[in-house]
């Protein structure tokens, strides 16, 4: 199957209410362009340098999402153009994003990354940290930040019930935060190639899919 038909298949499976972020990390610009030509406009990258390179090389109507961990000292490189930052995991990072967004006269849309997996390597806030941050006056005082929702990654495991439980816990937390948040707190980014079906069943509104579109990545 080629990229266009894989995208078509994914769209049919996910329906209209779920936004597809095509994760193009490690794939060269000409391959990304094949997905673009098939109609895909939202792409996700996990590294700042690669994101900036592809932004330069590819059509300007692409909506670029940064899905990976972001270091404070690299915010300035993505601040002029990035549509959504998925993995905000500290107040320090938010402050820097607010500052750089202001310099660019932008309001930067962000998701808070919440830790739901059992692995120790995954970044993110725990539920109480995320709740604290969302309620903080410091956040209210950042005019150039708009928190659109939450992002989470399930444990990398064959145990589907565990994955389901983790996604479900994030959805419950998301709904709880939604009751006090602003109206545009409405994005729940969860689900990758291996688990997007479960994620959608558990209430995901945005999936980040790479290998199911572009094929396996080289290690």
Ligand X SMILES: *Cc1c(COP(=O)(O)O)cnc(C)c1O
Site string (182-201) toward ligand X, x via CB under 6 A: ----------xxx-------
CA–CA separation, 16 and 101 (whole Å) = 30
Q: How far is the CB of 1 from ligand X (least distance, A)?
A: 15
Structure tokens at 55: 């932004």
Q: Which is nearer to ligand X, 142 or 210 (CB)?
A: 210
Q: How far is the CB of 95 from ligand X (least distance, A)?
A: 23
Determine how many CB atoms are found less than 10 A away from the CB of residue 117.
17
Q: Which is nearer to ligand X, 171 or 208 (CB)?
A: 208
Per CB under 6 A, 34 contacts ligand X? no
Q: What is the DSSP string of 120-182?
A: SS---B-HHHHHHHHH-HHHHT-TTEEEEEEEEE--SSS-HHHHHHHHHHHHHHHHHHHTTS-
Q: Which is nearer to ligand X, 177 or 213 (CB)?
A: 213
Contact of 210 with 3, CB cutoff 8 Å: no
DSSP 176: H
Q: How far is the CB of 68 from ligand X (least distance, A)?
A: 5
Q: Which is nearer to ligand X, 22 or 94 (CB)?
A: 22
Per CB under 6 A, 85 contacts ligand X? no
Q: How far is the CB of 208 from ligand X (least distance, A)?
A: 4
User: What residue is closest to ligand X based on CB?
Assistant: 210
Radius of gyration of the chain (CA): 17
Cβ-based burial of 152 (10 A; exposed 0-12, middle 13-18, buried ≥19)? buried
Per CB under 6 A, 163 contacts ligand X? no
Per CB under 6 A, 155 contacts ligand X? no
Which residues make up the interface to ligand X (CB under 6 A)?
Answer: 23, 25, 46, 67-68, 192-194, 208-212
């Amino acid at each position: 199957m080629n990229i266009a038909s894989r995208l078509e298949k994914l769209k049919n499976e996910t329906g209209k209410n779920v936004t597809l972020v095509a994760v193009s990390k490690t794939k060269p610009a000409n391959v990304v362009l094949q997905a673009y030509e098939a109609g895909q406009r939202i792409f996700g990258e996990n590294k700042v340098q690669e994101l900036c390179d592809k932004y330069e090389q590819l059509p300007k109507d692409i909506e670029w999402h940064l899905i990976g961990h972001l270091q404070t000292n690299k915010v300035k490189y993505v601040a002029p153009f990035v549509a959504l930052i998925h993995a905000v995991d500290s107040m320090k990072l938010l402050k820097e994003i607010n500052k750089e967004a202001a310099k660019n006269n932008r309001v930067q849309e962000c998701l808070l990354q919440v830790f739901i997996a059992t692995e120790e390597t995954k970044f993110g806030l725990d539920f109480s940290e995320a709740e604290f941050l969302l309620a903080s006056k410091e956040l209210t005082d950042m005019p150039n930040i708009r928190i659109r929702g939450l992002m989470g990654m399930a444990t990398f495991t064959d145990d589907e019930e565990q994955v389901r439980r983790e996604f479900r816990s994030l959805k419950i937390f998301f709904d709880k935060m939604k009751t006090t948040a602003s109206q545009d707190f409405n994005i729940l980014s969860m689900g990758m190639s291996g688990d997007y079906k479960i994620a959608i069943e558990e209430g995901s509104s945005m999936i980040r899919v790479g290998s199911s579109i572009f094929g396996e990545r080289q290690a």
